[in-house]
Amino acid sequence: AHRVVGQTSRTPPQPAPAAMPEVPMWKQGRLAKESETSKMIYNYFLKRNSSYVATIFAIAVVGGITFDKIMDSAWRAHNKGKLWPDVKDKFGGEE
């Protein structure tokens, strides 16, 4: 067997890991306790990649439909009197 220079045949003993405090000293008092609402949102919508992606898609679809309806309403309000439903009676439209 070939030996690499500087490597010994036996590994040195590893020190036992020190007991870790629950929260590091520098973090104590800085983080607020999580609310039940944020825990619920995380557990149901963000914990797994599949539920996270589904949440993003649902928000995008609902947001897109909402934005479209708001912009359509604003367009109709801004152009009131100029759109076909408003002027069709003047031109004898049957639509």
SS (H, E, C) the chain: CCCCCCCCCCCCCCCCCCCCCCCCHHHCCCCCCCCHHHHHHHHHHHCCHHHHHHHHHHHHHHHHHHHHHHHHHHHHHHCCCCCHHHHHHHHCCCC
**Per-residue confidence (pLDDT) for residue 66, from 0 to 100:** 98
Q: What's the pTM value of the predicted model, to 2 decimals?
A: 0.55
pLDDT of residue 32: 75
Output the pLDDT for position 95: 55
Write the pLDDT tens digit of every residue in 43-89: 999 999 999 999 999 999 999 999 999 999 999 999 998 988 888 88
